[in-house]
Amino acid sequence: MSVLAVITPTWDTQEWVAKLQKALPDIDVRGWPELGNLAEITYAACWKPPAGLLATLPNLKLMVSLGAGVDDMLRDSTLPKHVPLLRVVDADLTARMSEYVLLHVLIHAREQRRLDTNQLLSKWDSFAAHTAKDFSVGVMGLGILGQDSASKLSMMGFKVRGWSRSAKHITGVECFSGESGMNAFLGGTDILVCLLPATKDTEGMINRDLLSRLSRRGPFGAPVLINAGRGRVQNEADILACLDDGTLYAATLDVFRQEPLPATSAFWLHPKVTVTPHAAADSDPAAICAYVASQIRLFNTGQPVSNVVDVTAGY
């Protein structure tokens, strides 16, 4: 019999064990730290597993990340290189991310925070609002999440451009790629949406140099940043300095280098910043378990699995 280890130290492991056991009745599902004989474990489903743990499972055949991002798992230098690692791709999660992106792009475009402040002051100020077609939104990262967000932004009437490592063709989206396409991409972007994974290549990429290359021809005369990818992609001191000196007009940040964001962080009370607690696209356990079970069933019967992580690229 195959054994699946569920390793989720920061989540309610028993909830995930129960759901996965129901979906995989022929597999013995065990929750960390009660894993029993480690040599019996063939599959592991993980979110933030303790570093070094997966290397102690000698007969592991498949690892599944319970999230879309795998940066935490790949930071474990002992992660077994010969064992394939899958990541989550799920329609529910993708839809949630696009909702977040559209919501926050619209909050900026329609100056909702200005309206919120006015309401607190009982101030009736019906200023002329901008509309979608006035803004060029640039999406960094045109993967599963970036492509869906970009297409939906385009449907809403925004001018949309995107940037990725390899070239793409997406209806309604002007696509740029690689280092050579970056300047042109940034130069025409009024609202930058980051949906990049954290890798060695994207580490600290959103820094002063990048932010100062964004368009200043948009309705606000300075660009807006929305980051729902990973905190490690951003240089937080640069973002704060750019907000303070006007290089950036405003920012919405869902992800941070340190999470939870410390109470002392200047982001919390910054008048130009909207903070959300890594909540852009919550995972629905039922949907994720159905996905994990389907991949394990395929693997168990010798069929090809999907969404295998390129460990060298880091995503």
Region label for 191, one of left (φ > 0), alpha (ψ between -120 and 50) or beta (otherwise): beta
Query: DSSP letters of 153-214?
Result: HHHHT-EEEEEESS---BTTEEEEEHHHHHHHHHHT-SEEEE-----TTTTT-BSHHHHTTS
CB-nearer residue toward ligand OXD: 21 or 283: 283
257 binds, among ligand OXD, ligand NDP, none (CB under 5 to 8 A by kind): none
Q: Is 68 in the site for ligand NDP (CB under 6 A)?
A: yes
CB 229 within 8 A of CB 251: no
Please give the structure tokens belonging to residue 207.
Answer: 């820094």
Specify the stretch interacting with ligand NDP by CB under 6 A; choose among 11-19, 32-40, 199-207, 244-252: 199-207
Rounded-to-integer distance, Cα 5 and Cα 145, Å: 28
Q: Is 257 a catalytic residue?
A: no
Please give the structure tokens belonging to residue 198.
Answer: 């954290």
CB of 2 to ligand NDP, least distance (A): 27
CB of 176 to ligand NDP, least distance (A): 10
Of 281, 288, 293, 296, the residue at the interface with ligand NDP (CB under 6 A) is 281
CB-nearer residue toward ligand OXD: 68 or 102: 68
Q: Is 173 in the site for ligand NDP (CB under 6 A)?
A: no
Residues of span 147-166 touching ligand NDP by CB under 6 A: 164-166
Q: Is 113 in the site for ligand NDP (CB under 6 A)?
A: no
Task: Kindly list the distances between the CA atom of residue 236 and the CA atoms of 143, 150, 253, 279, in Å, as whole numbers in the listed order.
Answer: 24, 25, 10, 19
Of 31, 49, 69, 138, the residue at the interface with ligand NDP (CB under 6 A) is 69
Helices 91-109 & 144-156 angle (0-180, nearest 10)? 50
Please give the structure tokens belonging to residue 299.
Answer: 């693997």
CB of 127 to ligand OXD, least distance (A): 36
CB-nearer residue toward ligand OXD: 68 or 101: 68
R_g of the chain computed on alpha carbons: 21
CB of 230 to ligand OXD, least distance (A): 8
Q: Is 75 a catalytic residue?
A: no
- Which residues of the chain form contacts with ligand OXD (CB under 6 A)? 67-69, 88, 281, 283
Q: Please report the sign of the dihedral spanned by the C-alpha atoms of residue 213, residue 149, residue 258, residue 51.
A: negative
Catalytic residue among 104, 230, 232, 297: 230
Rounded-to-integer distance, Cα 181 and Cα 194, Å: 16
144 binds, among ligand OXD, ligand NDP, none (CB under 5 to 8 A by kind): ligand NDP
Give contact residues for ligand NDP (rule: CB under 6 A): 68-69, 97, 141-146, 164-166, 195-199, 201-202, 228-230, 254-255, 278, 280-281, 315
Catalytic residues: 230, 278
